[in-house]
Amino acid sequence: MGLGACATDPIAQESAGIDTPPLSSPTIAATPSPDPTPSPPPSPLPPATAAIVARLGTPPFNPPKGDLRFAVISDLNQAYGSTTYDPEVAETVALLPYWQPDLVLGGGDMVAGQSLSLSVAEIQAMWAAFDRIVAAPLRQGGIPFGFTLGNHDGSGAPNGSGGYTFQRDRDLAAQYWRDPRHDPGITWVDRGQFPFYYTFTQGQAFFLVWDGSTSEIPPAQLAWVKTALQSPAAQSAASRILVSHLPLYAVAAGRNKPGEVMTQADDLRAMLEQFHVNTYVSGHHHAYYPGQRGTLDLLHAGLIGSGPRALIDQPNPSPKTLTLVDLDYGTGQTTYTTYNAETWQTIALASLPRFLLGHNGRVRRRDLEASDLTPAEENLCEQRLGSDRCEP
């Protein structure tokens, strides 16, 4: 989220001048760039970036930059064991210098593990491919990379004997990330359990990454989370952002069930709100939705790899996406600018459903309060989920 030059009303920037569709309307449509005056791109651009911009003809919209800007990407992988990536992955990485992010956040599933049939050599080959296509270009461009491990990177699924079913995946993920040659370039606060859970800062923002590769946060790790969020580094920050692979609440068809979201989501959300966490960034559902429940912003990142999914109750798959988040230190407000990674057109906030009714709770679109919902919308939620899961 980057930037003192943000519009005074970030939500208005995202949804300006667009009629709101009903819940049943088609969800995601590429639209013209938002109204605010775009920022000029850097000059000169790296050759690979310049080549893509030239091919597009009309450069992608570059929103006004705030005090801190971070780009969010997620779910990059293909099929189990793959050492190749969809072309949108390399193109997204190559375009990043155009927007000059201060940081890239990754929502997990960088490689395609979580198969016991994969050998050590095959898993190492996947990480080598990720390094070549994603991590090395970020390092060479001087762009820090904060990330969470996904279930395909190093699943924390327990084996029933006090260990992990995919221990080999976790060991090899740790081997790759703890190699000094692969330093992600972030400013550490606590790296003791990196890459599984850790904290860092970027500018005046505090980031906490937990092991959201499964639906359960173990008690010892949850105690660490509470301590970290109460620390001076966290509480003195202009914003606190948590990064997880699994979301708190379901947003995508096919993943609208227990095990695909964090267990006891409402309790976790209440704890995060208690410590003034502003934004929860997640992947895993392969569908973009900028939501809110309670006072917590929920940025469900779309994928740029294979397998897009439809949002709940929507007919079409969500597009592959890149989201820029611009944070204003003075107000704490964030502005999202999200791109269809196949066309590089922006996605209008108002083209998305007003709310989603997942099995474990309603998620509102981030520009709406509960009071903005109509009686008919409230009734629909209560009939499907019950009143408890329709709370603000």
**Contact status, residue 101 vs residue 143, Cβ threshold 8 Å:** yes
pLDDT value at residue 3:
30
Q: Which residues pair with 109 in a beta bridge?
A: none
366 part of a folded domain: no
pLDDT value at residue 35:
54
pLDDT profile of the chain (392 residues), mean per 10: 32 34 36 60 89 94 97 97 97 98 98 97 98 98 98 96 96 98 98 98 98 97 98 97 98 98 97 98 98 98 98 97 97 96 96 98 96 96 96 80
363 part of a folded domain: no
The CB-side HSE value for 361 (13 A sphere, CA atoms) comes to: 21
Domain count, the chain: 1
Q: What gap in Å lies between CA 102 and CA 69, rounded to an integer?
A: 5
234 part of a folded domain: yes
307 part of a folded domain: yes
Q: What range defines the domain where residue 80 resides?
A: 10-354
Q: What distances in angstroms separate CA 234 from CA 142, 185, 226, one per listed residue?
A: 25, 19, 11
Nearest to 3 by CA among 347, 337, 330, 349: 330
pLDDT value at residue 127:
98
**Contact status, residue 245 vs residue 262, Cβ threshold 8 Å:** no
Q: What gap in Å lies between CA 171 and CA 119, rounded to an integer?
A: 13
376 part of a folded domain: no
232 part of a folded domain: yes
Q: Give me the CATH number covering residue 51.
A: 3.60.21.10
In degrees rounded to 5, what are phi and psi of residue 114?
75, 35
pLDDT value at residue 40:
79
303 part of a folded domain: yes
**Contact status, residue 33 vs residue 346, Cβ threshold 8 Å:** yes
1 part of a folded domain: no
pLDDT value at residue 2:
34
The model carries a pTM of: 0.91
